[in-house]
Amino acid sequence: MIRSDVTPEFLVIPSSDPRRVFHIRVPGILRSKQHIAVIALAVWLTFISLFMLLAQSFNFEIFFVLSLIGFLIIVELIAPKYIHPGYLRYIRYILAAGIVIFGMIVAQKVLEILGWEIVF
């Protein structure tokens, strides 16, 4: 029996659906994948920033590449398999712009190695 005077952070209750044994209720901020994605990206960017500051070598290009990698992973994790919501289209535009900037960074590094100088 579940007591009504106790409100645990995560509540596991028996489910009425015969395909599921239990139903898990989560707190308000963790209800959707988008909220989890925002929190995960904020934690990832904070971790990258703190690590670079502790190493005393903040490089914007490395920060951009690592944040793009984190953003790509999070977008793939929150994207539904069989439907394409409207917000996903705009996220894909942001990813496309990030990949273009990543390509420019790679091209600039290759030109630096070859000894040629082209500034973007």
Backbone φ and ψ for 22, nearest 5 degrees, come out as -130, 155
Could you report the per-residue pLDDT of 58-68, keeping only the tens digit for each? 889 999 999 99
Residue with tokens 């790509």: 72
- Is 117 strand, coil or helix? coil
Could you report the per-residue pLDDT of 28-62, keeping only the tens digit for each? 555 677 788 888 999 999 999 999 999 998 889 99
Structural domain spans, the chain: 32-114
